[in-house]
Structure formats: C-alpha cells, structure tokens
Amino acid sequence: MVTNTEVKELGHFINGKVVPGKSGKFSDVFNPSAGSVIARVPLATKQEVQLAIETAKKAFPAWRALSVGKRAEIVLKFRQLLTERMDELIELICTESGKTKEDAKGEITRGLESVDLAINAPHLLKGEYSVNVGGHINAYSTKVPLGVVAAISPFNFPVMVPLAITSMAVAVGNAVILKPSERVPCSALFLSELWQEVGLPDGIWTVINGDKDTVNELLTNPSIEAISFVGSTPVADHIYATGSKYGKRVTALGGGKNNMIVMPDADLEQAANAFLGAAYGAASQRCMAISTVIPVGEDTANQLVKILATKIAKLKIGPYTDAEVDFGPVITQQSKDAIIGFIDRSLDEGATLVCDGRHPEIAENSKGFYLGPTLLDNVKPGMEIYEQEVFGPARNVVRVETLEEAIQLINEHELGNGVTIFTNNGAAARKFTTEIEVGMVGVNVPIPIPVGYHNFGGWKRSKFGEGHMFGPDQVRFFTKTKTISEKWFEEHSTSTSSFAFPSNQD
C-alpha cells in the first residue's frame, strides 16, 4: 500500500500480474491532503495497449465457455474478499483522492450494489423460448458476451465507477480492460489483486494506465467491442463520436449541472441540511453534486440564504485523518486554481459573495489542495459559473418567482444529469417530476442517484449512447442477442420446396 512518505513506481496489470511500464513516461500521483507525490504511474505506449488487448482476446473464449454459474461464483468471492479488505481500500482511496473515510466507505458500499447485481447474472442472462411458432419450429434467444470491452473511469470515484462499469461485463462473460484515471491508479490495481486472489482467469481483468494516447488506442482498436466511460461532457462527446465511428458500442456519461428547487412550503432547515451534503460532500467533486439551489419566491430565497450562510460557516475542511472534517481537498492544484478562477469571474459578472472559500485557514499551513465552501447569490443564466460544471466547492443560488420558471431554466440547460425538489406539496412534486427534462429526479432526496439495480444516466449532453452505468441495461449493453429457429424432422418424413416467404400459417 502507498503511504504518505513513500514514492512508489506503479505498473500495469496484464495477464494476471503487475508489469512495469516500458514507455519511460510517468505521471505523478498526489496525496491531495498533503500536496505531496506518493507514486508514479506509467503512461502506456500504443504497443503496450495492443499487447493488453491481445492478451484479453486470447483469454476470452475460455471465460465465455465457462458456465454462468461458475462465473457468478467468482464474482461472489470477489465481493466477499472486497468486504473483508474494505479498510485497506478505504485508506487507499483517502490517500490518493483526499476523500474522508466516511465518504470512501460510502463509495465502496454503493459500488458493491453493482457487484450484487452482477452476481445475479445467471438469472439476468435467461433468454426467451417459444414452442411451435409455425411448421413445428421452436424459436429461442440467448444472450452472449461481446468479447473484449474497455472501461474508462474518472478520478472522483476510484472504486465505485470501476465496479459499476466492469462487474456485469465480467459476470456475463467478457474480458475487461480498465483504464483508470492516472490521478487515482492505486485503487484499480488493488481491485486487480482481489480479482487475481479469487481465481479470475488471467487476461480477463486488465488495468492499463495511460493518458489520451492510451484512450485513443482503445477507441480505435478493432478488437475492442464496447466502451464504457464516465467523465466530463467534452470528453464524453469525443469518446462517443470516436468509438461509434469505429463501430463500437459506446456509453459515455458526462457532467451535470444538478439543481435543487426549494418551494415556499418546504422545511427550510431540512432543505438547507440536505443541500450542504449534496453540494459540498467530497469537495463537490461528484457528477451528481448539487451545484445550484433555486429557491422559489423572494422570501424563500432570503430565508434560505441566511440559514445556509450560518451552516456553511460551521463546515470543517481538512485531511481524512481528522475524523471531524466534513470534506477534504480537491484533487490537484490545477483544479483548485480553476475553481478560484470561476469564482473570481462570477463576481465580475455580478454575482454576490455569501461565503468565501477561496482562502481557507488550513491553506496557510498546509500544501494540500484545500478550498473552503463558497456560496454565490444572485447568479443568473448566462454567467459562466451557471452554464459550466464547476468541479469544486463553489455553489450557486439562482432566484426565481415560480415553479414554472425554475422548470424552464433547468430544461433549457444543455446538461440534464440530476435534479431534485424540496416541497410538502404533492401537486407541485407531480408537476415537477412530469415536466422536468432530466434523467435522474428526486423529491425531497438530496442526491437522486439510483441504487445499483436501477439504471443510472442523465439526459441531453450528460449522456451519450443508449446504455447506463447501473442497472439491468448493463446486461443488454455487454451482451448481444442470438435468436435461433429450430426444427427437427420425424423419421421418414417428407418435405417439398417452398418459395414463399416463411410465415407462421402452418
């Protein structure tokens, strides 16, 4: 395990073992809480990526031929081992991402929901059967794995997203190549160790570390059948366009500008408490984080902003080793600088500063990438901080007069990942859930992220492709359907040629 004082040279996980990189190019892995380098991760060459793909391709036929029950048994053992070694993984997540221990544990727990669904692969892979569809012919369908599939995961969920976009792929019989974010490669390599220990055949699980050159090889290599991606919208757009061009099945999840509408009848204390965790948890580095609160009516806005200002002032930021902190640092110094830039420009555009987190006290004595919680009032559509996803603790208040106005604002935005409303009015909630054009919707739920057995995915430019990250769509995405029509002739039966198009008249 990587510690705060050790700078370890990492490798790739290919054919059941960790192998050193050959490119001579590395990327530094930081401990964001300390601002220090803890590891160096190799950036793969094109030849290394091709070798990993060929290795997976050779391993695939035997894994496909293994019974689905045996595959599910291996996935179950993986789940059990992951649970047993959860404390180790929590420490690893916290060290390389800066998350609190509570948040890291929550991430793993949500990731296990995807593993749980994958354990049910024997049930989910069942096909259909029809007897005597015509002419004593029986018809049936089977779901078969695609082959070698690739998954590209982001830094903000080093474990949950990889588990969500690979567990079912493995269970239904594919060989999987994971390209984790080069900022958090240690967690992915830890998962590799677990897969190896539970007996997953060599070559079925691969971790290849790299940058955009690695990604482009995965997108264009003809042996990759499908791509799952989670990240920013511009990159998701590129992944979808390029992968589709090369004939691959692609699901690419992008960013979100997730809104919380607060109605005049809502309990403002409850709404404020919900907003704090949903907006600032994990230093706001979640694609489902609430970025904008939209109070309906001037009185609602004034009261809510006053309550939020008081509560935000009490939030504590710091390293994960302090059990009392609410959230930790952002992932890099570059991220911190970019977030401060968003705040500065929003003030130039006319926003009002309610809480200023640009220069937290901890930053005076720490080299960690810390930002405190910032809240901006009087933000309006058209401002950069409203239109773009800000992956850090700078949150907005947009004031509206009516629910209709709030719905219209949200529907007009190009992103449609998640949204929620806080209200005690059933009619308002029904109008909201009916008319809102967003993929994941909550009513009095701060973060409307579905559980692992429901589909996860936004609308508009928050998701490209037809697949989803969680849920039953995973089975459909990682398999293809084969439909078989079958007839057996009785002994000494006779037949004649027919030139009519086949039908079920007989």
Catalytic residue set? 287
At residue 345, φ and ψ (nearest 5 deg) are -70, -30
Q: How far apart are CA 71 and CA 167, in angstroms?
A: 11
Give me the phi and psi of 315, to 5 degrees please: -70, 145
Amino acid type, 100? T
Q: How far apart are CA 409 and CA 120, in angstroms?
A: 41
Q: What is the DSSP string of 2-30?
A: --SS--EE-EEEETTEEEE-SSS-EEEEE
By CB neighbour count within 10 A (0-12 exposed, 13-18 middle, 19+ buried), where does 484 fall?
Answer: exposed
Q: Is residue 152 a contact partner of residue 228, using CB atoms and an 8 Å limit?
A: yes
The CA-CA-CA angle for residues 262, 339, 158, to 5°, reads 85
Q: What 3-state DSSP class applies to 473?
A: helix
- Transcribe 57-105 into DSSP letters: HHHHHHHHHS-HHHHHHHHHHHHHHHHHTHHHHHHHHHHHH---HHHHH
Rounded Cα–Cα distance for residues 212 and 215 (Å):
5
Burial 460-476 (b: 16+ CB within 10 A, else e): bbbbbbebbbbbebbbb
Q: At what angle do helices 160-171 and 68-84 cross, to 10 degrees?
A: 160
Tokens of 481: 């359907």
Q: What count of residues does the chain have?
A: 506
The contacts of residue 502 (CB under 8 Å, 6+ apart) are: 134, 135
DSSP 320: T
